Amino acid sequence: MAPVTAGKDRLHGTLDALVLKTLAWGPRHGYAIARWLEETTDEALSVEEGSLYPALYRMERRGWIEAEWGTSELGRRAKFYRLTASGRAQLRREVAEWTQWTAAVSKVLLAS
Amino acid sequence: MPAIARAGRRLRSLIWQESVSEEVEAELDFHVVMRAREYELRGMDPHAARAAAVARFGDLGRVTHECRAIGERREIEMRRSERLAELVHDFGHSLRRLRRSPAFLAGTVLSIGLGMGATVALFSVVRSVLHSPLPVPAAEELLMVTRQSALGATDRLSSGDFLDLQHGSPALRLTAWETRELTLTGQGDPVQLQAARVSPAFFDVLGVRAAIGRVFTEDDGSLPDPGGVLFDHTPRVLLSHALWENRFGGDPAVIGRTMLLDDRPHEIVGIMPRSASFPAGTQLWVPLGFGGAAPADRGGFYLQAFGRLAPGVSVQQAQSEVNRVAERIASAPPPFNEGLRFPLQSLQETLVRELRSALWLLLGLSVLLLLLVCANVTNLLLARAAARQREIAVRTALGAGRGRIVRQLLTESIALTSLGAVVAMVVAWWSLRSLVAIGPPALTHLADSTLDPMALALVPLLALLTGVLVGLAPALQLARSDLPSQLGAGGRGSAGSRNTRRIQDLLVIGQLALAAVLLVGTGLLVRSYERLRAVDPGFHSGNVLVLELALPDRYRTQSEVVAFTDRVLDELRGIPGVSAVGTALRLPLASEGGGMFFAPGRVVEEGAVMSSATFNVVTPGHLALLAIPLRRGRDLGDEDRAGAPMAVVINETLAREHFAGRDPIGEQLVMGPWRSTPATVVGVAADVRQGGLDAEPMGAIYMPAAQVTVFTIRRMHLLVRSSLPPMQLAGAARARVWEVDPNLAFARVSSLDDRLDELTRPTRFALSLVGGFGILGLVLAASGIAGLTAYAVAQRTREVGVRMALGARPRDVLGLMLRQGSRRIVIGLALGIILSLGLTQLASGLLHDVQPTDPLTFAAITLFLAAVSLLATWLPARRAASVDPLVALRE
């Protein structure tokens, strides 16, 4: 398998993977994605809003997610995102890379 | 929100950028509100909660900006692919629709292809001929040297002129050339080749290099034995690319070999590239060298010269230098150099001058044709569009925007013209080849028979333009159609179709006008051609065979030439059926060649002014041979031999101009080269049009070949009159000549009639082109009128039914339609006549003895077009009259 690079892309990639995985559970609007990640990780992961939305727009442009305006639980208009087929494929790739990455980093950091 | 701001918002939301921006703001605002609510639920007060929520974004403005940028980019990409998909779909859809009406498709595609193809072909010709007639570097620096003096204007210089100019004018790097024929022997039948004797600097001045081998150097110009000749050439030769391919099979090893030209072995030193065809039609170049007699030669004008401006020198500077040389020459004898000037002209300009107006005219004609075609297609599309109004109305009702509909319709017309473009390329390729094949020689030498790349690039552009042009009117009409009236029953007679009718009317009027212009042009040319052929040439050309020869240099003196001629003529007389034979330097109506100076009287003083006349060197019985009437005295005969007093025959014009009132027989003339020996006039012949059918006859002198001793005249035309068609004798004639000298090559063997036909070739060429355009224009205009009338009839079936139900007779209905159609015809013809009156002035150069406003032609064409147009209106209108009122009312 090709080596995974360590750089700013890695950070983007991780956020993308998190969002994609979140949406795998069903369509959500941006706030719901942020709350889901916070809750699922018991507040361990706090998403930076300043990175989340640009990431969502980027992923929409690349066709991994698609957006639709709808009504939120409280009756307000919100923009809902949903995973596309190519998004699912991208998610699988990201998970595979992430596994490879952590394995590599662990080898270094956990070596005695 | 205040009303104004709302209105402003609505206005701005028409522009897509605002919608993306709005969405981003709304989305981020939602998030902030939700987060603030979360904090409020935990106990923060609303203000602080909101501030904290915003703070989580870091710089909210920057995030908004970033998201908006990404969003806008995405919008652009989406629209682009959407448009592209739409376009592709529309194109395919259009093609499928077109397939369903094959007649319409075939007709329009062919006519568009024709119009476009002709335009592209002519554009290619215009570009290659006018833009770069000389494919050499910096061709605008090349100037042709012409000569002007008391004797007239000419483009030939004498050797003395040229050498003086070369010496005295450093601003120009000069080179001279002369054309002549050389006979190639030793490779099968003797063949005459077109050669150019060029001074060694020729190719340097042009800026052309040899493709293989080398061009001439200064050494090649030094004669081994300068002696007393004017000029000669050293035995080296450059071959043209075509000659090299034809005669030597393109073998590069030919360099260094020799070929026998005029019985002298010439060494082949190089092969010129294909593009180097200057002077036009040259097959060989040999290096000119000046002999000892050259600097003093002032009287013989054989050389043509051009030069390249030295770096940094302007044309005016070169001109003034050259004029200084002229003054020096004029200040010395002989006296006919009075007022000598050497006007410099652009070399390229001299090459294209004659062709320029003709070519632009042709291009204009084909654009006209294309416009005619477009008008027809637009009319057809408008008619079809009317049938689709319902379909479009439904589409609009279902949400297709106006812009989308117009785009769709335009795609259809562009699909049509694109198919036409494919046909156009074939038409262009074919017509270019035919143009170059049948066109006048001046054109064929210059035009490249392959399509200019710029012309090819023009094709898609033209397809697009014509597609839009043709489709715009129908598309706009349809898009504007009034929806409710279309969707309702009987949607007819609305403003839309009134507009359509008006456009269609205008188009047909335009077509008629254009067709009128083309046909008037054709008519004028036809009359011009007839006038030309009706001119009495002054001799009888039937059944005369012409064998054109140039004897090689081994015939050293005129007496050797005369001996040869006598033997050959004897042989030719022996052919069965031959009634008369002779030779002549010039054929009647051949306009090339210079004149002879002469003056009446026995003696001419030094410094006297002489007149000039054309001359011909002929054998006894020439007048009888060509059936030129003899007015007084006698023809030249056998008694006019070498040693006998010189006899000449003059023509009526010369007799009138110089011996008015006196009987010229027995009078004496002194001619330029024989100043000391006056000649006696023995006969007066009728005028022959020497300068061509258009030109007025000039004074002419016929001299006996046997008595011309100063020159050796090696060029001649053998004339054989017989009772048989000339070409049947050609083989026998050639064989008899070869019995006298087997190594002679004939420049040309043809009948005198054929030669005369060639003179009218330019007019016939123009005639066939304009005529072709005219016929096409007529067909297009007539079909346009017929189509429009048929459409109008179909549209008004109901109205006709009502009229007939109310008592109108079929005749009345027919009359109504005819009257309305006539209005169009009258306007169209009137417009056409006015246009023609203006435009034909431009072509007056092509007309012979016919006024550009010739009333007969105009009247005839007007009547003809009116008749055709009325017929085209009547035929479809007849159907209107045969409508059954009941059927019509029910529709």
Question: What ipTM does the predicted assembly reach?
Answer: 0.90
B570-574, B641-645, B776-780: segment of lowest average pLDDT: B776-780
Q: Do B30 and A60 touch (CB under 8 A)?
A: no
- The residue of chain A nearest to residue B30, with distances taken between CA atoms, is A78
Nearest to A31 among B23, B35, B71 (CB): B35
- State pLDDT tens for residues B698-749: 788 898 988 887 777 888 899 999 998 888 888 899 999 999 988 888 878 8
> Distance, in angstroms, between A98 CA and closest chain B CA?
26
Mean pLDDT for B414-428 is: 89
Nearest to A30 among B31, B58, B77 (CB): B31
Q: Return the pLDDT at B450.
A: 67
Residue B43's H or E segment, with its range, is none
Q: Return the pLDDT at B368.
A: 81
Kindly state the tokens that stand for B798: 């109901």
Is a pLDDT exceeding 90 seen at residue B569? yes
A99-103, B64-68, B193-197, B297-301: segment of lowest average pLDDT: B297-301
Model confidence at B757, pLDDT cuts 50, 70, 90, reads confident
- The residue of chain A nearest to residue B56, with distances taken between CA atoms, is A49
Q: Over B850-869, what HEC string results?
A: CCCCCHHHHHHHHHHHHHHH
- State pLDDT tens for residues B463-488: 888 888 888 877 777 766 655 555 55
Chain B residues with CB-CB distance to A57 below 8 A: 66-67, 70-71, 74
Q: Do B26 and A61 touch (CB under 8 A)?
A: no
Is a pLDDT exceeding 50 seen at residue B242? yes
> Distance, in angstroms, between B53 CA and closest chain A CA?
10
Q: Return the pLDDT at B591.
A: 56
Name residues whose C-beta falls within 8 Å of residue B78's C-beta, 6 or more positions apart in sequence.
none
Q: Return the pLDDT at A76.
A: 87
Asked if residue B478 lies in contact with residue B392, where contact means CB atoms within 8 angstroms, the answer is: yes
Mean pLDDT for B148-160 is: 80
Q: Return the pLDDT at B11.
A: 55
Q: Return the pLDDT at B491.
A: 46
Model confidence at B694, pLDDT cuts 50, 70, 90, reads low
Nearest to B66 among A48, A54, A79 (CB): A54
Chain A interface, mutation test: which of B34, B63, B80, most A Cβ atoms within 10 Å?
Answer: B34
Q: Which of the two residues, B885 and B622, has the higher pLDDT score?
A: B622
- Residue B597 to residues B507, B619, B807, Cα–Cα distance (Å): 62, 21, 89
Segment of B118-127, B451-460, B861-870 carrying the highest mean pLDDT: B861-870
Rounded CA Rg of chain B: 39
Chain A residues with CB-CB distance to B74 below 8 A: 57, 60-61
Chain A residues with CB-CB distance to B79 below 8 A: none
Instruction: Match 């981020």 to its residue by tokens.
Output: B28
Mean pLDDT for B105-132 is: 81
Q: What are phi and psi of B290, to 5 degrees?
A: -90, 140
Q: Do B71 and A34 touch (CB under 8 A)?
A: no
Model confidence at B495, pLDDT cuts 50, 70, 90, reads very low
Q: Return the pLDDT at A91.
A: 93
Model confidence at B861, pLDDT cuts 50, 70, 90, reads confident
Nearest to B74 among A53, A61, A77 (CB): A61
Tell me the torsion sign for CA atoms B284, B285, B287, B288: positive
- Report which residue type is found at A69: W
Q: Do A79 and B77 touch (CB under 8 A)?
A: no
Q: Do B59 and A50 touch (CB under 8 A)?
A: yes
- Could you list the beta-strand ranges (E) of B186-262: 191-198, 212-213, 231-233, 236-239, 258-261
- The residue of chain B nearest to residue A47, with distances taken between CA atoms, is B56
> Distance, in angstroms, between B84 CA and closest chain A CA?
18
- The residue of chain A nearest to residue B53, with distances taken between CA atoms, is A49
Percent of chain B residues topping a pLDDT of 90: 13
Average confidence score pLDDT of chain B: 81
Mean pLDDT for B61-65 is: 91
Q: Do B30 and A72 touch (CB under 8 A)?
A: yes
Q: What are phi and psi of B11, to 5 degrees?
A: -65, -45
Instruction: Match 């950091």 to its residue by tokens.
Output: A109
Q: Return the pLDDT at B488.
A: 53
pTM score, whole prediction: 0.62
Model confidence at B580, pLDDT cuts 50, 70, 90, reads very high
> Distance, in angstroms, between A61 CA and closest chain B CA?
6
DSSP state, residue B576? T
A35-49, B85-99, B219-233, B236-250: segment of lowest average pLDDT: B219-233
Q: Do A57 and B67 touch (CB under 8 A)?
A: yes
Is a pLDDT exceeding 90 seen at residue A83? yes
> Distance, in angstroms, between B28 CA and closest chain A CA?
8
Distance CA B516, CA B219 (A): 63
Q: Do B70 and A76 touch (CB under 8 A)?
A: no
Distance CA B584, CA B587 (A): 7
Mean pLDDT for B72-97 is: 87
Nearest to A53 among B63, B73, B74 (CB): B63
Model confidence at B630, pLDDT cuts 50, 70, 90, reads very high
Q: Which of the two residues, B592 and B235, has the higher pLDDT score?
A: B235
Nearest to A50 among B27, B58, B70 (CB): B58
A23-27, B538-542, B559-563, B876-880: segment of lowest average pLDDT: B876-880
Distance CA B718, CA B564 (A): 12
Residue B666's H or E segment, with its range, is none
Query: Taking CB atoms and an 8 Å cut-off, how many pairs form between chains A and B?
Result: 57
Chain B interface, mutation test: which of A57, A74, A80, most B Cβ atoms within 10 Å?
Answer: A57
Model confidence at B838, pLDDT cuts 50, 70, 90, reads confident
Model confidence at A87, pLDDT cuts 50, 70, 90, reads very high
Chain A interface, mutation test: which of B19, B23, B27, most A Cβ atoms within 10 Å?
Answer: B27
Distance CA B825, CA B511 (A): 10
Is a pLDDT exceeding 70 seen at residue B493? no
Distance CA B306, CA A36 (A): 91
- State pLDDT tens for residues A2-37: 666 666 666 667 888 999 999 999 999 999 999 998
Name residues whose C-beta falls within 8 Å of residue B514's C-beta, 6 or more positions apart in sequence.
B368, B371, B372, B777, B781, B832, B835
Chain centroid offset of residue B285 CA:
28
- State pLDDT tens for residues B422-462: 998 898 888 877 777 666 655 555 555 667 777 788 888 88
Chain centroid offset of residue B402 CA:
45
List residues bridging with B304 in a β-sheet. Answer: B177
- State pLDDT tens for residues A39-69: 888 877 777 888 899 999 999 999 999 998 8
Kindly state the tokens that stand for B11: 């206005």
Is a pLDDT exceeding 90 seen at residue B816? no
Distance CA B130, CA B281 (A): 19
Residue B493's H or E segment, with its range, is none
Query: For chain B, which residues lie within 8 Å of any Cβ of chain A, measuring from their own Cβ?
Result: 23, 26-28, 30-31, 33-35, 56-59, 62-63, 66-67, 70-71, 73-74, 77
Q: Do B70 and A31 touch (CB under 8 A)?
A: no
Q: Return the pLDDT at B1.
A: 46
DSSP state, residue B146? -
**A104-108, long-range: CB within 8 Å, 24+ apart, which pairs?**
A104/A3, A104/A4
CA B295-B301-B302 angle, to 5 degrees, is 95
Kindly state the tokens that stand for A68: 């639709």
Distance CA B165, CA B328 (A): 10
Nearest to A54 among B31, B34, B70 (CB): B70
Asked if residue A23 lies in contact with residue A33, where contact means CB atoms within 8 angstroms, the answer is: yes
Query: For chain A, which residues lie within 8 Å of any Cβ of chain B, measuring from their own Cβ?
Result: 29-31, 34, 48-50, 53-54, 57-58, 60-61, 69, 72, 76-79
Nearest to B63 among A29, A34, A50 (CB): A50
Q: What are phi and psi of B266, to 5 degrees?
A: -110, 135
Q: Return the pLDDT at B69.
A: 92
Q: Do B23 and A34 touch (CB under 8 A)?
A: no
Is a pLDDT exceeding 90 seen at residue B772? no
> Distance, in angstroms, between B124 CA and closest chain A CA?
48
> Distance, in angstroms, between A67 CA and closest chain B CA?
11
A46-55, B680-689, B797-806: segment of lowest average pLDDT: B797-806
